[in-house]
Amino acid sequence: MVSQVSELMSTVVDNDYCIGCGICASFKNSPISMRIDENGKYIPYIKPEELNELSDPVIDVCPFSENNNVEDVIGQEVFGQQLDITYDKYSGYHLQAFAGYVLEEPYRKKGSSGGMGNWIAAKLLENNLVDGIIHVKPTEDPLFKYDVSNDVNELLKGSKSKYYPIELSEVLNFVRNNKGRYAIIGIPCYIKGVRLLEKQDNILNERVKYHIGLVCGHLKSEMFAKSIGWQLDVKPQSLKAIDFRKKLPDRPANHYGVEVMGDVEGKESKVSSPTRDLYTTNWGYGFFKYNACEFCDDILAETADITVGDAWLPEYSQDSLGTNVIVVRNSELKSLLEQYNGESIHLEKISSDKVYDSQAGGFRHRRDGLSYRLYLKDKENKWRPKKRVEPNNNLSRKRKLTYEHRSKLSMESFRGYRYAIEQGEFKYFIQYMEPFIKEYKKVIKPSLPKRAASKILREIRRIIK
């Protein structure tokens, strides 16, 4: 009999679909531990002496395995019984969507976006609905880790998005060993994994009361943070801290910056830059992206009680302080938002179509693009995770090439970074990646008639002005 652990390794892990969440290592006495690999990603490894045939049902809890329920099924089970629930294939089951931000200081100023993520968590603590928030905070090595905050001061130390590998096994063991009521914050696949684990683990099921999801484009390996530091003259081994979402006054919210701390020529320094001026921060190129993210169709954390993201919509992006998009699925949390609206927070109801629009690029890549990636895997007879999206080859040649080149950019970025490390200078990363970027740009370049039409339109606009 093949144990579930061996099966997990030979399917999800060996085929590079592991997101490094550490859910499989979160069982009591799991034979699995998490470690960072040569690409700066968490991966599971087995302590061979602890492997036995009757090991834990790790396949049932892995968000990328074949066996478990897809997000729709989990969503239906958890939220489907509420009277006023509606379903949308992008937002999942939901009660209402909003755009908004926090008025109460200092959440918006300290947050990535409108500050709603930590504000919701703070209100759960202040209203005695939970005793602790499981979320990601800065540490030394690695730079970020999941931890528990029991008060608002502690919670605020973990403000802002971490585009960085993190894993859950250590913190979930803490929860198992420490009685209390908890809320967890996480990206979609992590929340899905926690939901699956709760089905197997009564203690966690009992203790984790709320699940706060973050909208997710994709997760980055450690190389993303290190590459940013390197471009700002902080060598990879000297990077001490990073703020991935530094708000830049007088600029639109989506023109944010980054700030790193570390040794620059022997002096402890803080250096910042608009992300647009850096080489590795174009999210469309997908440098240092986990392959698992290419095979995920849940952007809005559909299994979370509430999801917060950025309202990337022209009517909100102009405000440099940031505005959230919020999708609520749990009636208690909806009441909490309504109770504070106009006082601590500002909310406007929006349709699920608007929510889609705020993440339209991500949805195209993770639904249409995914259908083509699944088609390619099936054509080669290769193992791949079970998805809601069907395999599809019926896309334009240009879209197919775009998706193929994007996957190549991600894959090659890991090689390029390792090459630059060998050579000892960041410029070698650029040298390695440039041919791939050139090819990609050729593919996505608008056709001649399209370019001519845009030129005519620009001319007409100029004349009318």
Ligand X SMILES: Cc1cc2nc3c(=O)[nH]c(=O)nc-3n(C[C@H](O)[C@H](O)[C@H](O)COP(=O)(O)OP(=O)(O)OC[C@H]3O[C@@H](n4cnc5c(N)ncnc54)[C@H](O)[C@@H]3O)c2cc1C
63 scored as a contact of ligand X (CB under 6 A)? no
Kindly tell me which residue out of 27, 42, 90, 163 binds ligand X, with binding defined by CB under 6 A: 163
Report the site for ligand X in 364-383 (rule: CB under 6 A).
none
Interaction between residue 188 and ligand X (CB under 6 A): no
Least separation in angstroms between CB 393 and ligand X: 27
CB closer to ligand X out of 57 and 117 = 117
Binding of ligand X by 310 (CB under 6 A) = yes
Binding of ligand X by 304 (CB under 6 A): no
- Asked if 309 interacts with ligand X (CB under 6 A), we say yes
Q: 20 or 115: whose CB is closer to ligand X? A: 115
- Tell me: does residue 362 bind ligand X (CB under 6 A): yes
What minimum distance in Å lies between the beta carbon of 282 and ligand X? 13
Q: What is the closest distance, in whole angstroms, from the C-beta atom of residue 294 to ligand X in the complex?
A: 14
Q: How far apart are CA 220 and CA 368, in angstroms?
A: 22
Please identify which residue in 4, 39, 65, 113 interacts with ligand X, judged by CB under 6 A: 113
**Contacts (Cβ under 8 Å, ≥6 apart) of 177:** none
Q: For ligand X, which is the closer residue by CB, 389 or 430? A: 389
Task: Please state the closest distance from residue 103 (CB atom) to ligand X, in A.
Answer: 13
What's the closest the beta carbon of residue 215 comes to ligand X, in angstroms?
4
Closest CA to 98 of 337, 331, 317: 337
Minimum distance of ligand X from residue 2's CB (angstroms)? 32
Question: Residue 20 interacts with ligand X (CB under 6 A)?
Answer: no
Should residue 219 be labelled a site residue for ligand X when binding is judged by CB under 6 A? Answer: yes
114 in contact with ligand X (CB under 6 A): yes
By CB under 6 A, is residue 214 in contact with ligand X? yes
**Which of 193, 217, 257, 369 contacts ligand X by CB under 6 A?**
217
Residue 308 within binding range of ligand X, rule CB under 6 A = yes
| Among positions 117, 213, 236, 257, the unique one binding ligand X when judged by CB under 6 A | 117
Q: Taking CB under 6 A as the rule, does residue 234 contact ligand X?
A: no
Taking the C-alpha atoms of residue 114 and residue 316, their distance in angstroms, rounded to an integer, is 10
Least distance (Å) between residue 113 CB and ligand X: 4
* SS3 readout for the chain: CCCHHHHHHHHHHCCCCCCCCCCCCCCCCCCEEEEECCCCCEEEEECHHHCCCCCCCHHHHCCCCCCCCCHHHHHHHHHCCCCCCEEECCCEEECEEEEEEECCCCHHHHCCCCCHHHHHHHHHHHCCCCCEEEEEEECCCCCEEEEEECCHHHHHCCCCCCCCCCCCHHHHHHHHHCCCCEEEEECHHHHHHHHHHHHHCHHHHHHEEEEEEECCCCCECHHHHHHHHHHCCCCHHHEEEEEEEECCCCCCCCCCEEEEEEEECCEEEEEEEEHHHCCCCCCCCCCCECHHHHHCCCCCCCCCCEEEEECCCHHHHCCCCCCEEEEECCHHHHHHHHHHECCCEEEEEECHHHHHHHCHHHHHHHHHHHHHHHHHHHHCCCCCCCCCCCCCCCCCHHHHHHHHHHHHHHHHHHHHHHHHHHHCCCHHHHHHHHHHHHHHHHHHCCCHHHHHHHHHHHHHHHHHC
What is the closest distance, in whole angstroms, from the C-beta atom of residue 6 to ligand X in the complex? 29
Q: Is 118 in the site for ligand X (CB under 6 A)?
A: yes
| Shortest Å, Cβ 287 to ligand X | 14
Considering only 34, 171, 172, 187, the residue that binds ligand X (CB under 6 A) is 187
Residue from 112, 221, 275, 330 touching ligand X (CB under 6 A): that is: 112
Please state the closest distance from residue 459 (CB atom) to ligand X, in A: 35
Whole-angstrom Cα distance, residue 102 to residue 344? 6
Applying CB under 6 A, does 159 fall inside the site for ligand X? yes
Q: How far apart are CA 288 and CA 154, in angstroms?
A: 30
Pick 61 or 148: Cβ nearer ligand X: 148
Q: Would you count residue 92 as binding ligand X (CB under 6 A)?
A: no
Q: Which stretch binds ligand X (CB under 6 A): 16-24, 56-64, 104-112, 441-449?
A: 104-112
* Closer to ligand X by Cβ: residue 207 or 432: 207
Contacts of residue 339, defined as CB under 8 A and 6 or more positions apart, other chains included, come to none
Residues of the shown chain interacting with ligand X in the complex, contacts defined by CB under 6 A: 107, 111-118, 121, 135-136, 158-163, 166, 185-187, 214-217, 219, 308-310, 312, 324, 359, 362
